């Protein structure tokens, strides 16, 4: 399925300014990668974010998941009722920042729409609270990718300096920041063979390329968009905010907004994926038994993963309580044996105190807490952060 380009994101984010000032009602997570934010902004709106692929408003929201994931619950805890303060594209990159002003502070939703992507909840200092995918750790400072050249920065000198022995289309797509499709478009308009080596280009050809870049991207700078879906018969080929010579021989279906075009395009892609799977049902039936066994194993691993991740979250959510208990046991061990500590714990339980502490594991130098029905083992030789990190590491291994 197509991932949105920097140009797509620019067009989409320009339209999403209508959401600024809107209130967040609910946040849903459709594992593994899709988030839906339900908003009130001049009526009900539903914003879809799919890590590594897309962001847009949808008129066709999926049915709400029966049970929220831990990621959805954490997002709701911080963001529900919050107001959208801004929506921006970071440096013409495939990153969208949604700033939210909530009761408990200011937060950012960081949508990475490149590669495998990610959706990250960060605080006002851009420290990670929780990532959808564990490429970042909670508490870690979020780092944007290194700034790269954009089409708006390119003049004849800049282009000449970047050209090398590779094909010019590859240089423009990567070093020039155009991406594959727009690199092809620029060279088509400039009348230059895309397979020419960059070092072979004449000054006149370099000038023509720069002129073509300005011709295409001036419309982007001016937000002069013409949203449409490129079609071949009934088949949806691409969705674009600009008319391209590259698709001049194709049919076009035009839309009032680019978000509407994106919504229809991706909805059709999802339907086609489902239909394709149904065509293969006979083959799938033969593999059903084996697949079921694999799914059961997968479910077991997912439950273990979710449990370890939830425990790490609970440690941080109950930070002060957990840390005070941990410190009390560390201090007690300096003067008392485990047997003495067991007796003290029994007495405390009889008095209705320390009920969160289920017991001790002397051979592991650990205590066991019960928080919201989750058994949490804490090692006395580790800090509270190190204990939480153990659970995060276990979830990654799973």
pLDDT digits (tens, 9 = 90+) for 127-159: 999 999 999 999 999 999 998 899 999 999 999
Per-residue pLDDT at 273: 80
CB of 357 closer than 8 Å to CB of 345: yes
Per-residue pLDDT at 359: 87
159-171 confidence digits (pLDDT tens): 999 999 999 999 9
Q: What percentage of residues in the chain have a pLDDT greater than 70?
A: 99
211-225 confidence digits (pLDDT tens): 999 999 999 999 999
Q: In the 8-state DSSP scheme, what is residue 93? A: S
Per-residue pLDDT at 22: 98
How distant, in Å, are the alpha carbons of 314, 328, 354 from that of 376? 9, 16, 14
**What integer best gives the mean pLDDT of the chain?**
93
Q: Where are the alpha helices (DSSP H) in 42-199?
A: 70-79, 156-162, 168-174, 179-190
Per-residue pLDDT at 287: 76
364-368: long-range contacts, CB 8 A cutoff, minimum separation 24: 367/325, 367/326, 367/329
Is 288 a residue whose pLDDT tops 90?
A: no
Is 274 a residue whose pLDDT tops 80?
A: no
CA–CA separation, 391 and 249 (whole Å): 55
Per-residue pLDDT at 157: 95
pTM given for the model: 0.70
Q: Where are the alpha helices (DSSP H) in the chain?
A: 6-15, 70-79, 156-162, 168-174, 179-190, 203-221, 258-279, 281-286, 288-317, 319-333, 338-350, 384-397
Compute the CA torsion angle 325, 329, 330, 331 (nearest 10 deg). 100
101-112 confidence digits (pLDDT tens): 999 999 999 999
341-390 confidence digits (pLDDT tens): 888 888 888 888 888 888 899 999 999 999 888 999 999 999 999 999 99
Q: 81-85, 174-178, 229-233: which has the minimum mean pLDDT?
A: 174-178
CB of 369 closer than 8 Å to CB of 376: yes
Give the pLDDT mean for 47-61: 96
CB of 389 closer than 8 Å to CB of 320: no
Say whether 119 sits in a helix, a strand or coil: strand
Is 192 a residue whose pLDDT tops 80?
A: yes
């Amino acid at each position: 399925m197509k991932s949105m380009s920097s140009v797509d994101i620019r067009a989409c984010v320009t339209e999403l300014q209508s959401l600024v000032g809107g209130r967040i009602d609910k946040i849903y997570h459709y594992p593994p990668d899709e988030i839906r934010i339900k908003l009130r902004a001049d009526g009900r709106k539903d914003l879809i974010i799919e890590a590594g692929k897309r962001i847009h408003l949808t008129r066709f929201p999926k049915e709400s998941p029966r049970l929220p994931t831990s990621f959805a619950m954490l997002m709701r805890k911080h963001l529900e009722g919050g107001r959208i303060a801004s929506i921006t594209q970071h440096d013409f990159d495939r990153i969208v920042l949604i700033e939210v002003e909530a009761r408990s502070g200011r937060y950012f939703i960081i949508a990475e729409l490149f590669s495998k992507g990610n959706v990250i909840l960060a605080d006002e200092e851009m420290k990670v609270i929780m990532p959808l995918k564990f490429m970042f750790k909670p508490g870690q400072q979020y780092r944007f990718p290194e700034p790269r050249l954009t089409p708006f920065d390119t003049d004849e000198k800049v282009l000449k300096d970047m050209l090398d022995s590779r094909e010019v289309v590859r240089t423009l797509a990567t070093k020039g920041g155009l991406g594959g499709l727009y690199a092809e478009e620029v060279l088509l308009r400039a009348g230059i063979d895309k397979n020419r080596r960059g070092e072979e280009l004449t000054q006149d050809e370099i000038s023509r390329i720069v002129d073509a870049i300005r011709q295409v991207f001036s419309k982007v700078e001016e937000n002069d968009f013409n949203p449409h879906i490129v079609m071949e018969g009934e088949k949806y080929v691409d969705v674009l905010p600009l008319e391209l010579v590259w698709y001049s021989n194709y049919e076009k279906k035009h839309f009032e907004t680019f978000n509407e075009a994106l919504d229809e395009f991706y909805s059709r892609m999802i339907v086609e994926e489902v239909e394709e799977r149904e065509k293969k049902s006979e083959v799938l039936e033969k593999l059903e038994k084996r697949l079921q066994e694999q799914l059961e194993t997968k479910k077991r691993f997912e439950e273990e993963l979710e449990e370890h991740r939830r425990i790490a979250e609970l440690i941080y959510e109950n930070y002060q309580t957990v840390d005070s208990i941990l410190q009390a046991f560390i201090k007690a061990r300096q003067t008392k044996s485990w047997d003495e500590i067991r007796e003290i714990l029994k007495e405390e339980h009889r008095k209705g105190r320390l009920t969160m502490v289920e017991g001790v594991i002397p051979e592991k130098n650990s205590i066991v807490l019960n928080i919201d029905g989750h058994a949490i083992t804490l090692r006395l030789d580790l800090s509270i952060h190190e204990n939480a990190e153990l659970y995060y590491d276990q979830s990654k291994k799973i």
